[in-house]
Amino acid sequence: MKTSTSPFRRALFLGLTLTAALLPRAAQAQFSSPVRITNTTTQSVPVKDQDLGARQPVYLHAAVTFFDGSYFPHLLPAANLYTVPANKRLVLEYFTADIPAMAGQRVRVTLQTTSAGNSTALYYMPLETPVATDSLNLQATSIASRLIRIYCDPGAGVQISVARSANLGVPASGDITFSGYLVDLLP
């Protein structure tokens, strides 16, 4: 006598087999011992920044002068402050500026560099509203002190341009500073 299975039984068997194969299972790690921290609640867990020893500090400073007639949107050519060495990445973390101009004028600082695979990036550094710095209110100073995070690729020039909102007034000088560090890249 010939035995045959019904199509329903075959479909049920196939469905159960597939379901069992696709169900999640408990994962087994090769080394499954738990991590135990034996510090008390008043002791901190020691943590080490593995990258800290590889950082090489960088300090960039520019003394800027506004000549009569220099204003935006007509920017002066950007001055190259630094060129990132080969096999290094520059990380800028801090920006500060102290820039005077005639009262009523605004000052703009622009950082230009190359990052993310040779694409040019412009960063407009915000400055505080100018504050009068003389008794006649003829001159005002714009200041800034900001934490930033800007990455610059190997071979990139770090360029800066500064401009004011009008071409009236006498020349003025100010200071701009960036600080950060270099990180070694794999060759």
3-state secondary structure of 11: helix
Q: What is the mean pLDDT of the chain?
A: 77
Model confidence pLDDT, tens digit, residues 34-88: 766 677 777 777 776 666 667 899 999 988 877 655 654 444 556 788 999 999 9
DSSP at 73? S
Run of H or E including 164: strand 157-164
Model confidence pLDDT, tens digit, residues 102-113: 777 788 888 888
Model confidence pLDDT, tens digit, residues 131-149: 777 666 677 888 889 999 9
How many Cβ atoms from other residues are within 10 Å of residue 1's Cβ?
Answer: 2
How many whole angstroms separate alpha carbon 56 and alpha carbon 98?
26
How many Cβ atoms from other residues are within 10 Å of residue 90's Cβ?
Answer: 25
The average pLDDT across 116-134 equals 77
How many whole angstroms separate alpha carbon 97 and alpha carbon 172?
14
Residue with tokens 């135990």: 36
CA nearest to 151, candidates 186, 111, 187: 111
How many whole angstroms separate alpha carbon 83 and alpha carbon 58?
11
- pLDDT surpasses 90 at 90: yes
- Tell me what pLDDT residue 49 has: 67
How many whole angstroms separate alpha carbon 138 and alpha carbon 71?
17
Boundaries of every domain in the chain: 55-184
Its CATH architecture, for the domain 55-184, is Sandwich (2.60)
CA nearest to 58, candidates 181, 151, 184: 181
DSSP at 43? S
